[in-house]
Chain A
Amino acid sequence: MQALYAQLLVGLINGSFYALLSLGLAVIFGMLNIINFAHGAVYMMGAFVAYFLLNLGGINYWWALLLAPIIVGIFGMILERTMLQWLTGLDHLYGLLLTFGIALIVQGVFQNYFGSSGLPYAIPDQLRGGMNLGFMFLPVYRGWVVVFSLVVCLATWFLIEKTQLGAYLRAATENPTLVRAFGINVPRMITLTYGLGVGLAALAGVLSAPINQVRPLMGADLIIVVFAVVVIGGMGSIMGSIITGFALGVIEGLTKYFYPEASNTVVFVLMVLVLLVKPTGLTGRAA
């Protein structure tokens, strides 16, 4: 039974990363209409920025949680201003190819300097150790990742669904020309949205660093699963991404317990089934 709970916890942790990454992808797709293949690369950059901050600047994990998303978010905004904005109105394929190319370049550069093996990033002192819950042993850091990710996801959902800024974002997703004609600087909002989506990925990277180590290809390994999550949840759906992210993490964890051979493919099998039954995803709306 302990093994089942342990797999559930692993599933929840993976689900946290899926949720944070797919949320960023959903925000970016909703606003920019771009399938951001560079998302795995910026996730990796988040982890590397945390690593650099600690090893070069002596800046600890807590500050990295704040600074890495900002730094990588700024990198994302520069990408949007200098490259992605020129793709407005073009077919999705152009955005996909460009961001895929950016991902390959970024990963290639990091791989060139740091190789493929992982760099260690220690769990902060405050989050070391574990708690005996009676039915299982819970490492504090893993519990923190799940709770913190959930809080960030819900805060992002609140920002987009319940605030005036979110209303601008949702309206601009539907009709950017008209929103701009109301006096809102939509191009700036698009840049900031891309920065937000990329920042969320970087935050996931920082959270992941103490668990998975810091590796140039850490994002490339994850991004395909995250795209499957987004497809299942429905492209552009905020709550769909969060729920599907956590749910698929748990399903993956349970599969590891009950039928380990299928654990790497279960997400893709589900994706195929969802596409067959509801091509817009579980919570997506028809275009």
Chain B
Amino acid sequence: MPDTAIAEAPAKAATGGNILQVRNLEAWYGESHILHGINFDVNAGEVVTLLGRNGAGKTTTLKSIMGIIGKRTGSVKFNTQEIIRATSDKIARMGIAFCPEERGIFSSLDVRENLMLPPVVREGGLPLDQIFDLFPNLKERLNSQGTKLSGGEQQMLAIARILRTGASFLMLDEPTEGLAPVIIQQIGHTIARLKKEGFTILLVEQNFRFASTVADRYYVVEHGKIIDGFSNAELAANMDKLHTYLGV
């Protein structure tokens, strides 16, 4: 199947309108050419997961959409608006929020300051009481130094702080990495609840067992390209292929 066909085929099955359209996205770290023409779509209200091995280009895809990779070409349209040349602060203000793999908790800020750091970019962000309802641990640790939290709490803080901003499109980079199963379950519940609240989520995961509990659709990334795409209903039928792709 040609790349663009992979991008469009499963997306057409989804119900919401197209919110993100990525076409022929290429990206470089210095001289290293990382993305070689990524194509995919995300519809409003969906949870879409990018799967792939280490170094396949999943994180670089998120960073390229967010505008934090120095050199990138192709087309990224958010709500039909071209953002490939926009700076990351402008992209954030359009309603895209990014939760990085390393969580990005600031050690010089306490939990409250970390939580309140991202500015509100539009109306509709979750109020603090709703955030504490989702992540009760954070309320008890508001005055602690951000990096003194456990890994799970840091991940919750990293997700919580972007929910305040009013961004409707969330990009979560490996939110379960290095976390205990009970915390992974809690993150899964949170993502499911956010989906119900109307958030659109682009998830990067290596743990497709976790992804299968929350995702509507999947794209498989390999060597900086999307090589396959299918919906959650097609997951069982694609299991063998997926094992080959991910080397598990």
Chain A residues close to B by CB (< 8 Å) = 164, 167-168, 170-171, 173-175, 177-186
Q: Given the complex, which residues of A lie within 8 Å of B66, measured CB to CB?
A: 181
If A177-B68, A182-B92, A182-B97 are given as contacts, then 19 extra A-B residue pairs at C-beta distance below 8 Å, sorted by A number, are A167-B109, A168-B117, A170-B108, A171-B106, A171-B108, A171-B117, A173-B108, A175-B106, A180-B88, A181-B68, A181-B88, A181-B91, A182-B89, A182-B165, A183-B92, A183-B93, A183-B118, A184-B89, A184-B118
> Which of these, A170, A174, A184, A186, contacts B119 with CB under 8 Å?
A184
State the Cβ distance, A1 to closest chain B Cβ, in Å.
Answer: 44
Instruction: Give CA–CA (A64, B97) in the complex, Å.
Output: 45
Q: Give the A-B contact count at a CB cut-off of 8 A.
A: 58
Instruction: Give CA–CA (A173, B109) in the complex, Å.
Output: 11
State the Cβ distance, A246 to closest chain B Cβ, in Å.
Answer: 23
Q: Is the CB of A164 within 8 A of B116?
A: yes
Instruction: Give CA–CA (A106, B160) in the complex, Å.
Output: 49
> Which of these, A171, A182, A183, A185, contacts B109 with CB under 8 Å?
A171
Q: Is the CB of B100 within 8 A of A183?
A: no
Q: Is the CB of B68 within 8 A of A174?
A: no
Known interface pairs A181-B98, A182-B118; A174-B108 also in contact (CB < 8 Å): yes
Q: Is the CB of B117 within 8 A of A180?
A: no
30 A-B pairs with C-beta separation under 8 A: A167-B109, A167-B113, A167-B117, A170-B108, A171-B106, A171-B109, A171-B113, A173-B108, A174-B106, A174-B107, A174-B108, A179-B117, A180-B89, A180-B92, A181-B66, A181-B67, A181-B88, A181-B89, A182-B89, A182-B117, A182-B118, A182-B162, A183-B89, A183-B93, A183-B119, A183-B165, A184-B89, A184-B118, A185-B89, A186-B89
Instruction: Give CA–CA (A180, B89) in the complex, Å.
Output: 5
> Is B104 engaged at the interface, CB distance under 8 Å to the other chain?
yes
Instruction: Give CA–CA (A203, B180) in the complex, Å.
Output: 54
Residue of B nearest to A166 (CB): B113
State the Cβ distance, A170 to closest chain B Cβ, in Å.
Answer: 4
Chief secondary structure at chain A's binding surface: helix
Residue of B nearest to A188 (CB): B89
> Which of these, A167, A173, A174, A175, contacts B116 with CB under 8 Å?
A167
Chief secondary structure at chain B's binding surface: loop
Q: Is the CB of B118 within 8 A of A180?
A: no
Chain B residues close to A by CB (< 8 Å) = 66-68, 87-89, 91-93, 97-98, 100, 104, 106-109, 113, 116-119, 121, 162, 165
Q: Given the complex, which residues of B lie within 8 Å of A170, measured CB to CB?
A: 106, 108-109
Known interface pairs A167-B113, A177-B68; A182-B119 also in contact (CB < 8 Å): yes
Q: Shortest 5 CB-CB distances between A and B: which pairs?
A: A183-B92, A182-B118, A170-B108, A181-B88, A178-B104
Instruction: Give CA–CA (A205, B213) in the complex, Å.
Output: 64
Instruction: Give CA–CA (A181, B173) in the complex, Å.
Output: 14
Instruction: Give CA–CA (A180, B162) in the complex, Å.
Output: 13
State the Cβ distance, A23 to closest chain B Cβ, in Å.
Answer: 17
Q: Is the CB of A180 within 8 A of B121?
A: no
Instruction: Give CA–CA (A161, B108) in the complex, Å.
Output: 9
For B67, B87, B89, B165, the residue with the greatest tally of chain A CB atoms inside 10 Å of its CB is B89
For B91, B107, B113, B117, the residue with the greatest tally of chain A CB atoms inside 10 Å of its CB is B117
State the Cβ distance, A13 to closest chain B Cβ, in Å.
Answer: 32
